[in-house]
A and B are shown apart, each in its own frame.
Chain A
Amino acid sequence: MSYVPIFHLTIPAIWVSVLIAAALTSFLVRFALKEKTGDWLWNAVSLYILIWKLSYIPLNFENFLEMPLSILYFNGGLYGHVLGIVLVMVYLTLLFTKQPKLANQPVFAWLLFFVSYQAVLQIFENNVLEAIFHSLLLILSMLAIRYLVKRADVPTDLLLAALFTLELLIVSVFAPLISWQTATFVTLAVITIYFYNRFTQKGQIV
């Protein structure tokens, strides 16, 4: 695990990468889909960060009571992460049931987010070769989404599954396959593709 020095603190590189990737994603989605990214993206990111950070309080209640300032330095760790992801999924599900059209973006946004997160993280970790692979896949994904999604002869779920699997391949070449990161990636990929398919079949996404 790498750390990035910011002022007098060292921040784990993964969290800096998450923020940079989230910021990048809204631009990448705009390029790939030729449409503006909805508010849902920043709502989801903020919700996740809030839950992840604040879950430190119930998980370390005694420490928090003794030193309320510790919330500045710590977070909910793995449990906070899982809780954050679950609540983001609940938020998106509620949102899609109200506005099915929005389910179009997350499935592409999630892929672009994760691939750019990996590219940024590997730059921080000094894994140049891996960063190059992720960057190439990121470019390929953007072009594939931009030029193939609207074509009738291209099944979008198959295209996405292929891109998600390629990303998984790059990850597994350089690091152990079984990790919380991979588990999160795969779970969200499956769920977003499921939503996308469901709404497409219902004709709610054009």
Chain B
Amino acid sequence: MIKKVLFAILLLAAISIIATNFIAKENESTQSKVESNQSATTGLTPGAEAPDFTLTDQNGETVHLSDYRGKKVILNFWATWCPPCRAEMPHMQQFHENNPDGDVEILAVNLTSQDKGDEAIRSFIDEFGLTFQIPMDESGEVAQAYQVRTVPTTYILNTKGEIAQKIVGPMDEQIMIEQTENLD
């Protein structure tokens, strides 16, 4: 008797697994429509629009965060004196090189006001051969706006400029891939 019950449970569960996976696929498209209707407000919580900023990067070019709408953004905050930032840099460069289509943009904001001067930052960039954009936060205002207390801190932004995730601590290439591939 109990044998039959167990077998029935097994069979029912297996059928339900197949059924739920079919239904789940049909529902996906309607769900994403509902989500896109929600309007975001500026803030630092997930779903909120990331605060805009204007900074100058290592090549003297002006960087407006809002110019990156339509692209996913890895917004990283770092300094040359921070060991985990050093550990993270090769992974970030690798991710940047392996993402030639450019649908994910890396903005690695240097905490210039807390760093050891222009020369130290330049030699750091040369040492790791960094080719992504490095906006310089000379006044410290952007780090303050993003409540960066420990470095590295990274915000992952979706194509609408909304915050999807905040990560404190270093990320490797795989984390960057996982964090950005299923993003809108």
Q: Which of A3, A74, A169 contacts B172 (CB under 8 A)? A: A74
B169:A162 contact, CB within 8 angstroms = no
Which residues of chain B from 124 to 171 have any CB-CB distance to chain A below 8 Å in the complex? 150, 165-170
Which residues on A sit within 8 Å (CB–CB) of B59?
A: none
Q: For residues 164 through 190 of chain A, which have their beta carbon under 8 Å from a beta carbon of chain B?
A: 165-166, 168-169, 172-173, 176-177
The interface residues of chain B, by DSSP majority, are classed as helix
Residue-wise interface mask of A (20-47) relative to B, using a CB-CB cutoff of 8 A (1 in contact, 0 not): 0000000000000000000000000000
Do residues A158 and B174 form an inter-chain contact, with CB atoms below 8 A?
A: no
**B86 and A67: CB pair below 8 A?**
yes
Is B120 among interface residues, defined by CB-CB distance under 8 A? no
Return A61 CB to nearest CB of chain B, in Å.
12
Q: Does B34 contact A (CB under 8 A)?
A: no
Interface: B81 (CB within 8 A) = no
Give the bracket for the number of chain A residues in contact with chain B: 35 or more
The answer for the CA separation of A162 and B7 in the assembled complex, in Å, is: 7
The interface bits of chain B over 73-110 (1 if a CB of A lies within 8 angstroms of the residue's CB, else 0) are 00000000001101110110000000000000000000
| Other-chain residue from A148, A155, A172 in contact with B17 (beta carbon distance below 8 A) | A172
**B179 — which chain A residues lie within 8 A by C-beta?**
1
Q: How far is the CA of A78 from the CA of B179 in the complex (A)?
A: 14
Q: Contact between A69 and B13 (Cβ–Cβ < 8 Å)?
A: no
- Which A residues are CB-close (under 8 A) to B90? 62-63, 66-67
CB-CB under 8 A from A159, the residues of chain B are 6
Q: Residues of A contacting B84 with CB < 8 Å?
A: 73
- In the complex, what residue of chain B is closest to A161 when comparing beta carbons? B10
Q: Is B32 an interface residue (CB 8 A)?
A: no
Q: Does B33 contact A (CB under 8 A)?
A: no
Interface 1/0 per residue, B3-40 and A, CB below 8 Å:
10011011001101100110010000000000000000
* Contact (Cβ within 8 A) B17 A168: yes
The reply to whether the CB of B178 lies closer than 8 angstroms to some CB of chain A is yes
Question: Could you list which residues of chain B lie within 8 angstroms of chain A, going by C-beta atoms?
Answer: 1-3, 6-7, 9-10, 13-14, 16-17, 20-21, 24, 83-84, 86-88, 90-91, 150, 165-170, 172, 174-175, 178-179
| Chain A interface residues toward B at CB < 8 A | 1, 3, 5, 8-12, 60, 62-63, 66-67, 69-70, 72-75, 77-78, 148, 151, 153-155, 158-159, 161-162, 165-166, 168-169, 172-173, 176-177
A-B pairs, top 7 by smallest CB distance, nearest first, are A70-B87, A9-B169, A77-B174, A165-B13, A162-B10, A73-B170, A10-B168
